[in-house]
Structure 1
């Protein structure tokens, strides 16, 4: 069983774990998973009050903070627009991350027999994965939007060479794939509104309509 300090040290690996999608695209100094976690949590903090339905802002921020925790052990397995290019299946990815999250949270159980409290951290991750509650659906949208915002930031900062051959992104120009993977998965009204605004800014940067 991992003890608390060991669990914390392992969790801190997220500060150094680079986001695989950006690495594959050849982004200069790509963000870490921890940076993406912060971005998602910040979007939850700022937009939860504008979301439709019963979205709990505090729970949304907490959920955002733990949603990629398992990647401290599994690494960041990128989501691709083409299923044939997925390195690991979605089911296998969830199973690997569930095992990691369960282990990493175990040292922080209260030990006082309060199972509701002991399972709350793990239940945040499970709720996020299930996407059945308004809060979980909202958090997932903010996760997708953080990725789109980061794509816009990298495009504005000229952080990659679009002329370099790149087999990993041969079907998409520029950073279009990051919008293509997000578009069919956005489920909330606030998510759709923000996605449209970010995509429009991105299209202004690249000077054409984004390929989806």
Structure 2
């Protein structure tokens, strides 16, 4: 490996490290002081992808896990844009900025086009695996919301509103979300 390639890998590695230190903004906005990081969230999605497909060989698990890991990689450059910001700037602006960030992070890497394609597939939801990871993005957020509520945090009702909407393709996830909602502290 030459110095230029090593430096390219090092820049991406530094971006990945930054995701371990980047708290998820939505939790901070709701007064959660030790909010999970973007990297912790991505790990949670990857772990849930593995668990929920362990008995279902119809999924491409390698694709699921890779997509779960890269789905928020662009946030290393953009930061974690909460729903309030996305509502104001629009999904197309957010998507375009994320696409440019993924290109900046990955285009110079050997195999970087693979990472960009994975992210594009996730963002577009063009495959069952991409839609499953998108569904798990919501599910993992609800698992985290329940943990924060159990720790005494309140004002998280908005995360639960319509929690099973868009999960019809994956009824076992919808049932799990319904079960999670029933576990919420009163």
Q: Same fold (TM over 0.5)?
A: yes
- 1:127 paired to 2:109: no
Runs of 4+ in structure 1 over 4 Å off: none
What residue is the counterpart of 2:99 in the other structure?
98
Identify unmatched segments of 5+ residues in structure 2. none
Among 36, 41, 47, which residue is 1:42 paired with? 47
C-alpha RMSD of the superposition: 2.2
Q: In structure 1, how many angstroms separate the alpha carbons of the residues matched to 2:102 and 2:117? A: 10
Q: In structure 1, how many angstroms separate the alpha carbons of the residues matched to 2:96 and 2:10? A: 24
Show CA shifts across 1:126-150 (max 9, x none).
Answer: 1111112111111111111000000
- 1:191 paired to 2:185: no
Among 138, 143, 158, which residue is 1:177 paired with? 158
Q: In structure 1, how many angstroms separate the alpha carbons of the residues matched to 2:162 and 2:19? A: 23
Identify unmatched segments of 5+ residues in structure 1. 111-117, 163-173, 208-212
Show CA shifts across 1:85-125 (max 9, x none).
Answer: 82421111111111111121123225xxxxxxx53221111
Distance 1:10 1:151, change over 3 A: same
Q: Is the contact made by 1:54 and 1:135 (CA closer than 8 Å) also made in structure 2?
A: no
User: How high is the TM-score relative to the length of structure 1?
Assistant: 0.77
Q: How many residues align?
A: 180
User: How high is the TM-score relative to the length of structure 2?
Assistant: 0.87
Among 125, 131, 140, which residue is 1:137 paired with? 131
Distance 1:104 1:120, change over 3 A: same
**Mapping of 1:35-114 within 5 angstroms?**
35-50=40-55, 54-80=58-84, 86-110=87-111
